[in-house]
């Protein structure tokens, strides 16, 4: 703490001056001792001046025995995936108790490079919460990705001194790390003394050890307790994810409880969570609530949402209720149910009716779909072999399986019996690359669904049961410069434009959600499995760094023990 700041606040700490605010009769969650401490909290200039029943304040609020926890921290998320302007997501989630966000803008960077990163930084500069950024490490994610920009180590130098940049974002290209690619190590070396986030689904033991030895500190891709345990044993801090698509809390927390494991090296994250889910369930508060329901001690769960993450990222002023810490607080009516009563950010109560501050988006970020119109013939898929690789969807996960199915040989595959045709269309450089494959478990009938949100390169992905409607869907997204679209029987049913890099809308959540809910309902009517999110599920079918089978503009790729390789 600076001298002048200490001199002023210490007067309150020492009882020589009144605090700005005193929260009386609180049951404080002490994340250092694991106790519930009955006391009062004195706040001065947005910081906690002290914890004692003796403090007096210019304003005093009696909490009548409510619990007070440190503000929750989301250890890893992509604001772009919420589809609305970044500050609207932050403003919504802070009302649910998340006061700190550690974001990785690699979605924006894959489309627009530095312009995309700057957009996220600018839009969240005046957020009613702490928003920190991890520098995107893999733009593109792999050498076979056809994305919008290349973002190398040299491009990162201007950001290193920014106090809001905490380290290097999720390192998806684990083969480049394990096999000592010099370009990758230039990035790792640049952030050698900062946190380096990982992205390591299902690495074998020796490769996982090499990945850690290279300097990777965290991972959020563990979907089983057994794999999470292997990571923690190597010193990798595991972010347990519960978002709109990937839901891993149950599997991992059950293992933690069963094995009575130390939770110091675990945190919570959402990764990707839509606003309608935040409004319904909460944000990191939902992760905490679910973990407690699964048998985890409430204080341990709160530590995973607060001090564990703050310590990891060197946020010495966050994550605890103690002198000198920022007064980011969550008031809870019930500790086990994690029922949020009020939220404080820098000692000021968060207004539950607060509207987000939104800066104007640069015009160039609304013109990122560079693609000529497509036609039905672009989606022709001949069957020439005895066995065909099919993408098998898995409910509640973003992983897929590789199904080998026997289809009758033909000049063009016509979807039926639960199989759909899926295609990835390159949209950044008008290269003409279109990969076409088959998926099982999606179920759409009588039309097509398309999206320009297609991790992580964000080309256009389309799925349907006929080539005509697939072409109509893609052409509609060219017209709107990105978004979601449903086409039924040759006609556009509904379009949700996402013109900001083809990822987000600045029309506001109410408008976005109205279209989204209408489209989700229609997707289910058209046969999409009600237990999957039609758009989030679709967006991950092109992500080649997740096992097992994916569709890219270059065709089908499989990630397995052999690494990433193309299949016929």
SS3 236: coil
**Which residues span the domain enclosing 309?**
71-359
CATH number of the domain enclosing 349: 3.20.20.140
Task: Give residues with Cβ within 8 angstroms of 39, minimum separation 6.
Answer: 26, 28, 51, 52, 53
Question: What pLDDT does residue 246 have?
Answer: 81
Both tokens assigned to 278: 């935040």
pTM: 0.93
In this structure, is residue 448 part of a structural domain?
yes
Same domain, 322 and 371: no
In this structure, is residue 51 part of a structural domain?
no
pLDDT tens-digit map of 17-74: 999 999 999 999 999 999 999 999 999 999 999 999 999 999 999 999 999 999 999 9
Same domain, 263 and 405: no
In this structure, is residue 54 part of a structural domain?
no
SS3 548: coil
Task: Give residues with Cβ within 8 angstroms of 226, minimum separation 6.
Answer: 255
Same domain, 336 and 455: no
In this structure, is residue 126 part of a structural domain?
yes
Same domain, 145 and 202: yes
Question: What pLDDT does residue 362 have?
Answer: 94
Domain count, the chain: 2
Question: What pLDDT does residue 357 have?
Answer: 83
Kindly tell me the sign of the dihedral angle through the C-alpha atoms of 296, 299, 303, 306: positive
Question: What pLDDT does residue 545 have?
Answer: 87
Both tokens assigned to 193: 């003394």
In this structure, is residue 2 part of a structural domain?
no
Kindly tell me the sign of the dihedral angle through the C-alpha atoms of 450, 451, 452, 456: negative
Instruction: Determine which helix (DSSP H) or strand (DSSP E) holds 108, and give its type and residue range.
Output: helix 106-112
Same domain, 372 and 430: yes
Question: What pLDDT does residue 264 have?
Answer: 97
**Residue 376: φ, ψ to 5°:** -55, -40
Same domain, 285 and 419: no
Note the maximum CA span of the chain. Answer: 86
**Residue 564: φ, ψ to 5°:** -90, 125
Same domain, 505 and 434: yes
Q: How far apart are CA 420 and CA 441, in angstroms?
A: 8
Given 329, 359, 389, which residue is the final one in a domain?
359
Task: Give residues with Cβ within 8 angstroms of 486, minimum separation 6.
Answer: 447, 448, 449, 473, 492, 493, 494, 495, 519, 522, 523, 526
Same domain, 369 and 343: no
In this structure, is residue 450 part of a structural domain?
yes
The one-digit pLDDT tens for each residue of the chain (568 residues) are: 999 999 999 999 999 999 999 999 999 999 999 999 999 999 999 999 999 999 999 999 999 999 999 999 999 999 998 899 999 999 999 999 999 999 999 999 999 999 999 999 999 999 999 999 999 999 999 889 999 999 999 999 999 999 999 999 999 999 999 999 999 999 999 999 999 999 998 899 999 999 999 999 999 999 999 999 999 999 999 999 999 878 899 999 999 999 999 999 999 999 988 888 999 999 999 999 999 999 999 999 999 999 999 999 999 999 999 999 999 999 999 999 999 999 999 999 999 999 988 889 999 999 999 999 999 999 999 999 999 999 999 887 788 999 999 999 999 999 999 999 999 999 999 999 999 999 999 999 999 999 999 999 999 999 999 999 999 999 999 999 999 999 999 999 999 999 999 999 999 999 999 999 999 999 999 999 888 889 989 999 999 988 899 999 999 999 888 888 999 8
Given 310, 341, 359, which residue is the final one in a domain?
359
In this structure, is residue 186 part of a structural domain?
yes
Same domain, 99 and 202: yes
Question: What pLDDT does residue 568 have?
Answer: 82
Question: What pLDDT does residue 397 have?
Answer: 78
Q: What is the dihedral of CA 69, 75, 80, 83, to 10 degrees?
A: -40
Same domain, 137 and 200: yes
Cβ neighbour number for residue 531 with a 10 Å cutoff: 9
In this structure, is residue 447 part of a structural domain?
yes
Same domain, 315 and 368: no
Kindly tell me the sign of the dihedral angle through the C-alpha atoms of 505, 509, 515, 520: positive
Same domain, 320 and 412: no
Cβ neighbour number for residue 402 with a 10 Å cutoff: 17
């Amino acid at each position: 703490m600076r001298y002048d700041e200490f001199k002023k606040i210490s007067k309150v700490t020492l009882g020589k001056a009144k605090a700005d605010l005193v929260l009386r009769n609180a049951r404080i969650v002490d994340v250092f001792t694991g106790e519930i401490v009955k006391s009062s909290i004195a706040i001065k200039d947005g910081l906690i001046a002290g914890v004692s029943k003796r403090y007096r304040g210019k304003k005093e609020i009696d909490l009548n025995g409510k619990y007070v926890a440190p503000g929750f921290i989301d250890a890893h998320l992509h604001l772009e995936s919420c589809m609305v302007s970044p500050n609207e997501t932050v403003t919504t989630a802070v009302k649910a108790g998340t006061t700190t966000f550690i974001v990785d803008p690699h979605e924006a960077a894959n489309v627009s490079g530095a312009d995309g990163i700057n957009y996220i930084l600018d839009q969240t500069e005046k957020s009613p919460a702490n928003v920190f950024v991890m520098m995107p490490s893999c733009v593109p994610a792999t050498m076979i990705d056809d994305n919008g920009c290349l973002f190398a180590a040299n491009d990162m130098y201007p950001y290193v001194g920014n106090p809001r940049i905490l380290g290097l974002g999720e390192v998806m290209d684990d083969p480049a790390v394990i096999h000592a690619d010099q370009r990758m190590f230039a990035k790792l070396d640049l952030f050698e003394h900062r946190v380096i986030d990982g992205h390591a689904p299902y690495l074998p033991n020796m490769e996982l050890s090499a990945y850690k030895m290279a300097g990777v500190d965290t991972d959020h891709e563990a979907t089983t307790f057994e794999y999470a345990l292997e990571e923690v044993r190597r010193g990798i801090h595991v972010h347990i994810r519960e978002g709109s698509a990937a839901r891993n809390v149950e599997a991992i927390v059950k293992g933690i409880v069963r094995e009575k494991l130390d939770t110091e090296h675990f945190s919570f994250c959402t990764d990707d969570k839509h606003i309608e889910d935040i409004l319904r369930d909460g944000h990191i508060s939902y992760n905490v609530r679910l973990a407690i329901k699964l048998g985890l001690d409430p204080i341990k769960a709160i530590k995973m949402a607060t001090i564990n993450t703050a310590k990891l990222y060197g946020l010495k002023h966050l994550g605890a209720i103690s002198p000198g810490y920022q007064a980011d607080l969550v008031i809870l009516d019930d500790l086990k149910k994690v029922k949020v009563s009020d939220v404080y950010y820098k000692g000021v109560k968060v207004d539950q009716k607060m509207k987000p501050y939104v800066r104007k988006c640069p015009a160039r970020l609304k013109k990122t779909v560079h693609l000529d119109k497509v036609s039905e013939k672009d989606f022709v898929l001949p069957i020439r072999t005895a066995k065909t690789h099919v993408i098998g969807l898995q409910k509640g996960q973003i992983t897929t399986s590789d199904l080998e199915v026997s289809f009758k040989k033909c000049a063009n595959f016509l979807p039926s019996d639960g199989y759909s045709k899926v295609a990835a269309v390159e949209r950044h450089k008008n290269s003409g690359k279109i990969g076409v494959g088959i998926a099982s478990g999606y179920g759409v009938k009588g039309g097509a669904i398309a999206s320009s949100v297609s991790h992580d390169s964000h080309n256009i992905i389309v799925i349907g049961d006929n080539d005509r409607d697939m072409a109509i869907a893609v052409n509609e997204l060219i017209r709107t410069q990105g978004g979601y679209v449903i086409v039924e029987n040759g006609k556009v049913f509904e379009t949700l434009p996402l013109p900001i890099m083809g990822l987000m809308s600045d029309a506001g959540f109410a408008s976005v959600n109205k279209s989204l809910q209408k489209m989700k309902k229609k997707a289910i009517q058209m046969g999409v499995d009600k237990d999957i999110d039609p758009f989030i599920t679709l967006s991950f079918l092109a992500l080649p760094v997740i096992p097992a089978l994916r569709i890219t503009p270059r065709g089908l790729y499989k990630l397995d023990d052999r690494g990433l390789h193309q299949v016929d």
